[in-house]
């Protein structure tokens, strides 16, 4: 893949009911900001659609509960960058001539807020069994099983246990015990080891494959910007040429904490966050990402934000 393959922007925006019956808004002018991360809290999307007719606006506000956004290039990468539940639809005006309809959405929000576990596990069960019970509760609210590595098990418990409470709490406890993180990505439950990654072909980022500017070493990880790329999946692999990474400058103050994740010797990283920004009639069409070396632990600056 090179930059000559990434031309002619392509985008699809559909609002729908739970069964997929919906309304295609792809031909309208809209801007979007999609925020995805290896966090337990849901990913979010803010989509502002301009100059929507009154009838269409009324339908969107009253009839639809789901939004699916795909973006990329006709010649190159193209795919889903957000699939989630509509949380709010509001109207406004940007200027004397331009009105907008803003859609605020969250990925797996219903499951995160309302999935409840009500079951028991027998003596001899493991933390992985508790994780399965939480997965079943999520499935009842539309979040299905995604990637989960083999070998998640843990010690067997000497006694049975009653499980009653929020599925997210049981999932958090099980993942922490098993040395993993969990998140909801496009309505699928994804579990990734703390020092592992999702098996996938690494996205190679160079100036010829969409890298914009110079990546930078910061306290959160390696920060970079690229042309919008739906193949940048949370927990997946990214390859960056180390020669292009700007090394962080230490703070000489004696009270400063100079902790910076390492620049990987082989240039391979796992993706922690990716923010997609686009404007169908403007210049914005890029992805901002933060990643860590494949074997690195989450830095303190990211741990306080809920990573790991």
What is the DSSP secondary-structure string of 90-105?
EEEESSSS-EEEEEEE
pLDDT of residue 78 exceeding 70: yes
Give me the pLDDT at residue 294, please.
87
Q: How far apart are CA 232 and CA 194, in angstroms?
A: 18
Q: Which pLDDT does position 14 carry in this prediction?
A: 97
pLDDT band at 161; cut points 50, 70, 90: confident
More confident residue, 151 or 263: 263
Nearest to 51 by CA among 4, 121, 98, 10: 98
Q: Name the band, by pLDDT with cuts 50, 70 and 90, for residue 251.
A: confident
Helices marked H in the chain — which ranges? 54-63, 109-114, 127-139, 167-177, 300-303
CATH 3.30.70 applies to domain 3-107: no
Confidence at residue 217, expressed as pLDDT on a 0 to 100 scale: 94
**Mean model confidence pLDDT for the chain:** 90
Question: CA Rg, the chain, in Å?
Answer: 21
Confidence at residue 305, expressed as pLDDT on a 0 to 100 scale:
63
What share of the chain has pLDDT > 70, as a percent? 94
Cβ(80)–Cβ(107) under 8 Å?
no
Q: For residues 266 and 85, give the distance between their C-alpha atoms in angstroms, rounded to a whole number.
A: 39
pLDDT band at 19 (very low <50, low <70, confident <90, very high): confident
Per-residue confidence (pLDDT) for residue 1, from 0 to 100: 56
% the chain with pLDDT above 90: 70
For the domain made up of 203-303, give the CATH fold: Elongation Factor Tu (Ef-tu); domain 3 (2.40.30)
Residues 273-306: tens digit of each pLDDT: 999 999 999 999 999 999 999 877 766 555 556 6
Query: What digits encode the pLDDT tens for the residues 37-56?
Result: 998 899 999 999 999 999 99
Crossing angle for the helix pair 167-177 and 127-139, to the nearest 10 degrees: 150
Asked whether the predicted pLDDT for residue 225 surpasses 80, the reply is: yes
| Residue, of 295 and 17, whose pLDDT is higher | 17
In this predicted model, what pLDDT tens digit does every residue of 125-156 receive, in sequence order?
Answer: 888 899 999 999 999 999 999 999 987 887 88
- The reported pLDDT for the residue numbered 105 is 98
The mean per-residue pLDDT over the stretch 220-231 comes to: 95
229 closest CA partner among 14, 34, 29, 39: 34
Q: How confident is the model at residue 308 (pLDDT cuts 50, 70, 90)?
A: low
Per-residue model confidence (pLDDT) at position 83: 95
Burial pattern 96-112, b for ≥16 Cβ within 10 A else e, equals eeebbbebebbbbbbbb
């Amino acid at each position: 893949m090179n930059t000559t393959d990434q031309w002619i922007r392509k985008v699809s925006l559909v609002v729908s009911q739970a069964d997929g019956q919906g309304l295609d808004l792809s031909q309208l002018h809209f801007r979007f900001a999609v925020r995805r991360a290896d966090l337990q809290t849901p990913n979010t999307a803010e989509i502002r659609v301009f100059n929507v007719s009154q009838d269409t606006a009324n339908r969107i506000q009253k009839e639809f509960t789901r939004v699916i956004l795909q973006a990329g290039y006709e010649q190159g990468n193209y795919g889903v960058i957000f699939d989630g539940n509509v949380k709010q639809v509001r109207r406004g005006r940007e200027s004397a001539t331009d009105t907008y309809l803003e859609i605020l959405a969250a990925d797996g929000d219903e499951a995160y807020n309302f999935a409840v576990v009500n079951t028991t596990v027998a003596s001899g069960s493991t933390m992985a069994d508790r994780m399965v019970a939480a997965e079943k509760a999520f499935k009842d609210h539309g979040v299905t099983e995604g990637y989960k590595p083999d070998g998640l098990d843990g010690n067997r418990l000497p006694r049975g246990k009653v499980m009653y409470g929020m599925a997210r709490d049981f999932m958090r406890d099980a993942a922490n015990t098993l040395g993993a993180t969990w998140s909801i990505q496009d309505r699928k439950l994804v579990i990734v080891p703390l020092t592992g990654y999702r098996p996938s072909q690494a996205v190679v980022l160079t100036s010829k494959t969409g890298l914009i500017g110079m990546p930078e070493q910061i306290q959160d990880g390696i920060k970079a910007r690229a042309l919008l790329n739906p193949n940048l999946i949370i927990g997946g692999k990214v390859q960056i040429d180390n020669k292009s990474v700007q090394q962080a400058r230490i703070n000489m103050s004696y009270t400063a904490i100079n902790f910076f994740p390492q620049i990987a010797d082989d240039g391979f990283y796992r993706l922690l966050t990716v923010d997609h920004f686009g404007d169908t009639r403007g210049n914005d069409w890029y992805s901002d990402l933060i990643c860590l070396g494949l074997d690195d632990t989450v830095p303190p600056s990211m741990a306080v934000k809920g990573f790991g």
